Structure formats: C-alpha cells, structure tokens
Chains A and B, each alone.
Chain A
Amino acid sequence: MKTSVSTLALAAALSLPGAAFAQDKNVKIGVLDDMSGVYADVGGQGSILAAQMAIEDSGMAAKGWKIDMISADHQNKPDVGVNISRQWIDQEKVDGIFGVLTSSVALAVNGVAKEKNIVYMNSGAAASDLTNSACSPNTVHWTYDTYLLANGTGKAVVKSGGDSWFFVTADYAFGHALERDTTDVIKANGGKVMGSVRHPLNNADFSSFLLQAQASKAKIVGLANAGGDTTNAIKQAAEFGIVSGGQKLAALLLFSSDVHSLGLKMAQGLQFTETFYWDLNDGTRAFSKRFSERMKNKNQPTMVQAGIYASIIHYLKALDATGSNPHDGVKMVDKMKSMPTDDALFGKGEIQPNGRKIHPGYLFEVKKPEESKGPWDYYKLVATIPANEAFTPLDKSTCSLLKK
C-alpha cells in the first residue's frame, strides 16, 4: 500500500531547478499501525488519512519539498513491527515512523529507531515507559500515556469516593503500565487496590474475570485494557449486573470509536481521559469535518489519528525550518524539541527533553442518550487537566536523557 503526493511536489521542485541541487528536500514518512486487528478503528485507515492530510496541509510541496508516504500493518505483533521498520529504514530509506499503536510494538520499534537513528513519533501507544525507562533521543511520544490516564481518570474516581479498586488488565506491556501508574495514583490519594486479574489481548469472554471482580467487593472495577477488549468487558459487565450491584466501572482508556461501537445506552456515564475530541473547539471541528468527509465510514477522528496529524505537521515544520533534510533522527528530534508546538488540534505545547509532548488532557463523561443531539455527539467535558499537570513531571521522569 503506497500513497504518494509526489507528483505535485515534483512539479514544484522542477520549477525551482537551482534550489533542488543545493538542498536535499526529499522526505519519506512511514505510517505503521494496526490496520486489521482489534485496534484498527482507533488507528487503521484513519491514521493513513490523517498523515495524508498533514502532508497536504503543511504546504511543503509548494516550498519545493517532495514528501512520500508509505504505510503498513504491524498486526499488533512486535516482531512484525520490527521487521517492517528495519525494511523501511534499510531499503525504503524512511526518515521517520509515525503512529504505532500497541505498547509492545511501540517499545520494540523504539529500539530500532534509536539504533538506525531515524525520527520516531508515537501516537497511539500508551506505556509511559517510552519517555521514562525506555526513553530515546530519537523518540517523541505525542498523544497520551498511561500517566495521563491514571492521573486523569484514576484521580477523579478516587476523589469522588471510589477508593477501593479491582483491576481487569490486558496482559501485555500496555496493561501492565496502566495498572502500575493507576495503582500509584490510587495509593497516593488514599485508596487501595484489592486485587487484579490479567486477560490475554483480544479476549472475547470476560465473564470469569468479571466474576472475580464482583467477588472482590471493590467499589471500582478498573478496566486497564483497550479497544475491543474494553467494549466487550463493558457490555458483559452490564450483563453480570456489576453496575446494578453497586460497583462502578472505570474504563481507563476509551476511544471515541469504542463509544461509537458500544452505543450511548451501554456507555452512558463512563468517565475517561482523552487529549482530543472532535467537538472540542473550532479548530478540532474544522479538522474533523474534513476528516470524516474523506473517511469511508464517515467516522470522526480518534485522538490517536489526531496525534498522527499533529505530529507530522510539527515534524514538517521543523524540517522546513532546517531548510534541508539532514536524514538524521537525533538532529531532527532536537530541532523539534527546540520549537514550541502549535496546531489546531492540540493547541500550543512543547516537547520536553525526555521526548514527552505536553498539552492539556480532558476528563470526559459519556452523555446519556437523551442528551446527545446527533451522530457522534457523545462526550461532555467534566474537567480540563492543564498541560503542566497532565504528564509525568520532569523531576520524576526516570529518563536517562535528563541530566540530574
């Protein structure tokens, strides 16, 4: 699957023959995501579209840049992701990899990006390890992470009285990171964790796990999973009378595509944290309108797809400011860290020295069916978490890039 916007760019480049020789204005972007599995609605084709829109909106073609994009499906398997990355870098000469949902794949690609010195901007993976123990001078972690989810949702739930928790956790890097970070927040706010159970990724039946959660008598059943796992768990929790029995569900990671798939009747009242929602302000609405018109199923963008758009915009801005593509990952990431970020979707922000992109987070609640005014009118804003509180404070980050 190859998409090229090169024809236009080439025409533009040919019209400036003098400049083309002096500077290298060729860029190749790779979008690596789950295209066919359990997270394909969170990323998938929408990720490719978001990247395409970013390339078009950047206006780089008019300035003589030739930007190519390729994309692939990592199937949520770290080994597949690593193989594609290596092939892209060695044979396709890719300058940067974008997207990469699924923390286990994201962490594996993180290593390849560092070894081969390319730009790696992750939008989709949750594990906060990417800017802590596994941080790298080649990596920018854009959209959200487990620290934000724990702090946003976890804190709000504990403060509203949900002080005893039982975790239903996806058994891989992401679930473990989310459970760990949320547990820290619960304990710091005076709550306690009564137990947890781990389920395989892409699990259809949650009844065993939900029964254990029910037996624990914890006030809150924390779902440390994502995508289809979360929607199935929520649906079956209703069936087993978890909520009617007095326990509450906390979906620690929920995407707009999940809410869409569950329907408001099933999802109403859930609180969760995101950094982007299509109906947040004029900038997000304008982008989302253009986006959904070009999506085959007319879906609104998820925060992961929005993050891919915004991260590519920032990367291209940094390239433009450099003037010529150095084909050097560390150099470009340093350049991006030195420039403040500003885009219509996430507002003004910055990239911290450990690679963490910071911007505000939002605590949302799913509307009741009668409150929704139309298709995709799903969230109401409960609280805004300011950018400087949303992510790991630098003095607490364990990233080795930070000199202490």
Chain B
Amino acid sequence: MFNISTQALFAQLLVGLINGSFYALLSLGLAVIFGMLNIINFAHGALYMMGAFCAYFLLNVLGVNYWLALILAPLLIGGLGAVLERTMLQRLAGLDHLYGLLLTFGLALIIQGLFQNYFGSSGLPYAIPQQLTGGQNLGFMFLPNYRAWVVVFSLTVCLATWFAIEKTKLGSYLRAATENPTLVRAFGINVPRMITLTYGFGVGLAALAGVLSAPINQVRPLMGADLIIVVFAVVVIGGMGSIMGSIVTGFALGILEGLTKYFYPEASNTVVFVIMAIVLMVKPNGLFGRA
C-alpha cells in the first residue's frame, strides 16, 4: 500500500488542489452568508447548480460564450439570491438558525425537483472553451489547461473576497453591521440593503463555482446536492463564518481527499466526515472559529 511513486503522489496532490478550489469557492460563499447574515444556506448547492445551468442556457439559447457567462451567470443568479433574501429570508431575521435552515433546505428541494422535472437526471453537455482545451505534460502528470485555470481563478477570487471583507472599509461596515446592526444604522448606513447584497454576493460565488464546473462535469440537476454536504463539512471544520478558515480548509480537504483516492479509494467520500467528527470533538468551533 505504501510503495507509491512520488510521481503519482504529486499528481494526486494536484488533483486534490483542483477539487479543493471548488470546495473553497463554495464554502467561502457559505461562510460569508453565515458570518454576515447568520443564515445556514442549504440552498447553496441548488444555486451552484443553477449557475451551471445558467451558463448552459446562455451558450445554447443566447450564444453567450464561457467568458461572458463567467460574469453574467453570477450576476443573474446573485440577483435571484437578492430577491430570495428580500422576499423570504428577511422575514426570518432574528429567529433561530433552524428556521433559515429549513426554509433554504425546502427551497433547495423545490429548485432541484423543478430542474429534474424539466431536464432529467443525466444532464446536459457543456464544452470546455476553445482557449483552454488541451493540456501540459508536467512529467509526472498530464495537467489539462482548464483545470489549471480553475485553480488559479478560484484562488484569486477567494483571496480577493477575503481582502474585501477583512481589509477594506466596506468590509468593516459589513462586520460592524453583523455585530450590532442598530448602532451601524444610527450612523446612516442602510443595513438591510447591505445584508441583501451580501446574500446576493454569496449566492453569486456559488453560481461562479457552478459555471467553473460546467465544462468538467455534466450539467446535472443533482450536481449541487452531491457536493453541498461535503462543503458543509468543510465549513464546519474551518469554523462557521470564518472567511480564511473556509478557504484554507477547502483546499486542504481537497488535497486530503485526493490522497485518499489514491491510497484507499473506497473511503474517498467519507474521509471528510471522519475529519469533521474528529475536529468537532477536539475543537467544537472549528479550526479557525472564534468561540
């Protein structure tokens, strides 16, 4: 079991990093939403799926290419998220977490059910954009260009988000509004609008991940449902609401999962939950969480 080549090991590390990019992008959106709004957004997977479908329809109905979809889909789905927040989630503000969780979980089931009803379960094809086809032979593995792009792009988005929230003035408003909305309001800042936009932004991140994954996986109604449970585990391990925590754990767990796929593939879809159980016992607030 341990006589592996360093070549194979590097290859698996890189593959893990690629998967980690998706975990990081999705868990980042969840962390932003939880951190700022105190909502456990179970609809995140469904919105990720809608991002992928949005890219598909932009291409096949309107002829909009991948690059524009990368901007348009998050805006459209993020806008939808803002509407959801204004019409539904806002009514649950201040109530127990459980209500938000149930509402978003219900929304996820409805959205997925509708998509499955219309598009079936096997999914729709979405091709890799022309500029990113092919790949590089790195010696130890063949790295498809598209996957390299995914890692670089999502890392950039993650760090930019972290910077915007932790280091800018706008971010400080946001954090202050979470701590004490009444006081921030007294300074003349429109807190409800800020919250709506934050939710829309978190949803936009999910849609962005959806567009990124469309060329890799089939665009399927259940693509989010399969992923979201793992992503929740990532958020719990990182610490609910911790921005940096979700980014670092996203990438780290992707790598860990990649290694498991090499050493003992049968356990690859449980390893994340084993880690989650251990972390919860040792550090209930997560690795980066504040007590």
Q: Give chain A's interface residues, CB within 8 Å of chain B.
A: 36-42, 44, 171, 197-200, 202-205, 207-209, 211-212, 214-215, 227-228, 231-232, 235-236, 239-241, 245, 257-258, 260-263, 265-266, 296-297, 299
Contact = CB atoms under 8 A, between A and B. Distances in A.
Contact of A241 (B19, B135, B269): B135
Interface string B191-219: 00000000000000000000000001110
A198 B266 contact: yes
Contacts, number: 114
A37 B12 CA distance: 29
A231 B265 contact: no
B44 interface: no
B262 A208 contact: yes
Contacts of A266: 125
Nearest to B125: A263
Contact of B121 (A36, A197, A199): A36
Nearest to A255: B122
A296 B116 CA distance: 12
A239 B120 contact: no
Contact of B8 (A39, A40, A212, A231): A212
Given A239-B147, A240-B142, A241-B142, A211 B12 contact: yes
A239 B217 CA distance: 11
A20 B18 CA distance: 67
Contacts of A39: 121
B120 to A, nearest CB: 5
Contacts of B284: none
Contacts of A232: 217-218
Contacts of B216: 205, 235-236, 239
Interface string B132-144: 0011000001101
Contacts of B128: 239
Of B118, B124, B269, which is in contact with the most chain A CB atoms at under 10 Å from its CB?
A: B269
Contacts of A209: 261, 265
Contact of A261 (B117, B122, B226): B122
Contacts of B117: 296
B209 to A, nearest CB: 12
Nearest to A295: B120
B19 A205 contact: yes
A214 B135 CA distance: 14
Contacts of A37: 121, 222
25 contacts: A36-B121, A37-B121, A39-B121, A41-B121, A197-B265, A199-B261, A208-B15, A208-B268, A209-B261, A211-B12, A212-B8, A228-B220, A231-B122, A231-B218, A232-B217, A235-B125, A236-B216, A239-B216, A241-B142, A257-B122, A260-B122, A261-B218, A262-B125, A266-B125, A299-B120
